[in-house]
Structure 1
Amino acid sequence: MTQTDYDLVIIGAGPAGLTAGIYAARARMNVLLLEKTVPGGQILVTDWIENYPGFPEGISGYDLAEKMKIQAEELGLKIETAEVHSLNLSGQSKQIVLKDRSITAKSLIIASGASPRNLGIGEDKFMGKGVSFCATCDAPFFKEKTVVAVGGGDTAVQEAIFLTKFAKKVYLVHRRDELRAAKILQERAFANDKIEFVWDSVATGMEGFFGLEGVKVKNLKTKEERTLKADGCFIWIGILPNTSFLNNAVETDEFGFIRADATMQTSVPGVFAAGDVRDTPLRQISTAVGDAAIAAVCAEHFIENL
């Protein structure tokens, strides 16, 4: 095979990427982990994690990410801050194009994760001026203020509950008449007298001059429109895969998530996917870690069989 820079390159340093790096480093592979921001991924902005095995009292997202990073680095994993611009997977050697250079690898694991979806109602105007996607980051700015939370899944409900530690009132706007979140989270939300549910409704606009002052909502059944006076708006309506660099290099589903088989291999031999970027029915830390373990071991087997 053509000489390559690395046995394995991993893109993304969330729980999936760090786990893959731990397995690859323990296997004594020549491996490089690329992360465009800081290691940890979305769990860095998760206040408290209660469903990850081994932490019965729970653990903060930051602390869990830091433990994963330290473990990986102590095993010898090299983590580099760099953004991947494109991939060339046409040959046996996988080419990863960065801003200042290109590197090659025998195998590749894509663990680039996903990002929050926008409402598309002008929230860009109020980013940093009332609009946020991260309660853990920004909730303290809204102490004793009124905020709007948009969404009905696990993240939306969990973060809305967290917001009540600071805000005096939280409107939770959901387009249906029941939540999609886990029952235990629903029970906690319904029992929290700081949360007011705005059912069958969607956010349609934002008001404010220097900063956010209100969120327009529309009831989908009655067509009634009103403005919820609020100092902040937190948005949790789903995620989009971080796959803009792929340029159709591997097969994806209609939403852009990477298709992979039971071994985490994509449509390109030797290229694997793990974590939130993958087409999967569940996106949790535990599933990302499981994906990554399979991907790393299968990447090792792929390289051995070259």
Structure 2
Amino acid sequence: MAKETKQKDIIIIGAGMAGLTAALYAGRMNLSVLVLENALIGGQIANATGIENYPGHKVIAGGNLIATVQQQAESFGAEVDEFDPIERVDLTKSPKIVETEGCIYEADVVIIASGMNRRKLPLAEEAKYAGRGVHYCELCDGHMYQDKVIAVMGGGNAAVDAANFLTKYASKLLLIHRSQLKADLVSQERLKKNEKATICLNTEIKALHGDGKLETVTVVDKATGKEQEVAVDGIFVNIGVIPNTELFKGQVEMDESGRIIAGEDCRTNLPGVFAAGDVRVKEIRQLTTAAADGTTAALLAEQYLSRMRQE
């Protein structure tokens, strides 16, 4: 049976902070807006337990912040669909085509706000222990390790924040990173003051071991080359992210990392196609800059639509 074809003014790909902010602004301008999300609404920030650097909130859970922005967008008529994965896009056509499992959408503007995914642990045994000791979401799976030994791999804000959160469950927590910490000093100091936490720098995980589930890891001291086997019940991995841009390759210009090339105006090389949030090439990636991108993309998208319809 042929798929139904539907028309929208703007299709937004991704329901993180950038995408939902764009939907909020576009909806307020009486545009027909559809937000498509293949995974969890809110993206990575949905799992954050305590955000302390978003203006207007002393501390707020990521899920609560995202839910509020989603409600705002929907109150102005934006439609958010998280259960219809995208199969293909054609951004070079006019109107642009976004085909999902259930429908074919046509729109004059597409805003790409597809964000990033966490990088997988680069060890051969990762698949064997995925969900059986190797995890990527501390909020989802941390409770499984009550009074257990937990390791966190990584040295950025995501890793240190995860480590701080997981100390509520762990009997002992190890933060393992191959170089020096890059997280903000406030988060670092909080972890250093926790008696449960041990920070292992210039250290790498070389191998995973266990009968059916993770039991130990082999770690190596990069300075001395000394290896040792350490008992851990679970590892939470935070070693970087990969842009969700595979769908758009060959259509929009990207850099070598796979991020979309777009300036502060969020315009890509294709007319009517904008990129917002972490998926865009830029120096600073914060919640506030994602919201700013969403705002910019929506306002300039409305201008683009107005000019196009006047011609």
| Counterpart-to-counterpart distance in 2, 1:37 and 1:157 | 24
Corresponding residue of 1:124:
127
Corresponding residue of 1:209:
211
Aligned identity (percent) is 39
1:196 offset after TM fit, Å? 0.9
CA deviation string 1:177-213 (max 9, x = no partner): x311111111111111211111111112111112110
1:265 offset after TM fit, Å? 0.6
What one-letter code is carried by the residue in structure 2 that aligns with 1:13? A
Please tell me the root mean square deviation across aligned C-alpha atoms, in Å. 1.4
Q: Does 2:154 correspond to 1:151?
A: yes
| Counterpart-to-counterpart distance in 2, 1:96 and 1:115 | 21
Matches within 5 A, 1:55-70: 55-56=57-58, 58-70=59-71
CA deviation string 1:154-184 (max 9, x = no partner): 11111101111110111111111x3111111
Corresponding residue of 2:223:
221
Matches within 5 A, 1:106-255: 106-121=108-123, 122-176=125-179, 178-255=180-257
What one-letter code is carried by the residue in structure 2 that aligns with 1:131? V
| Counterpart-to-counterpart distance in 2, 1:208 and 1:270 | 52
1:281 offset after TM fit, Å? 1.7
Structure 2 unpaired stretches of 5+: none
What one-letter code is carried by the residue in structure 1 that aligns with 2:23? G
Give the match's secondary structure for 2:215: strand
Q: Is the 8 A contact 2:6 2:103 kept in 1?
A: no
CA deviation string 1:274-293 (max 9, x = no partner): 11111122222111101100
| Counterpart-to-counterpart distance in 2, 1:69 and 1:248 | 31
| Counterpart-to-counterpart distance in 2, 1:168 and 1:279 | 40
| Counterpart-to-counterpart distance in 1, 2:294 and 2:117 | 19
1:6 offset after TM fit, Å? 1.4
| Counterpart-to-counterpart distance in 1, 2:220 and 2:102 | 48
CA deviation string 1:219-265 (max 9, x = no partner): 22211111221000010000001112113210111111111012101
TM-score normalised to the size of structure 2?
Answer: 0.94
Matches within 5 A, 1:246-285: 246-285=248-287
Give the match's secondary structure for 1:5: strand
The number of residue pairs the alignment matches comes to 302
Corresponding residue of 1:49:
51
Give the match's secondary structure for 1:305: helix
- Runs of 4+ with deviation above 6 angstroms: none
1:78 offset after TM fit, Å? 1.0
| Counterpart-to-counterpart distance in 2, 1:77 and 1:168 | 45
1:124 offset after TM fit, Å? 1.7
TM-score normalised to the size of structure 1?
Answer: 0.95
1:4 offset after TM fit, Å? 7.9
Q: Is the 8 A contact 2:6 2:104 kept in 1?
A: no
Give the match's secondary structure for 1:65: helix
| Counterpart-to-counterpart distance in 1, 2:217 and 2:286 | 30
Corresponding residue of 2:79:
78
1:17 offset after TM fit, Å? 0.8
What one-letter code is carried by the residue in structure 1 that aligns with 2:74? E
Q: Is the 8 A contact 1:4 1:106 kept in 2?
A: no
1:85 offset after TM fit, Å? 2.0
Structure 1 unpaired stretches of 5+: none
| Counterpart-to-counterpart distance in 2, 1:228 and 1:257 | 37
Q: Is the 8 A contact 1:49 1:61 kept in 2?
A: yes
What one-letter code is carried by the residue in structure 2 that aligns with 1:167? A
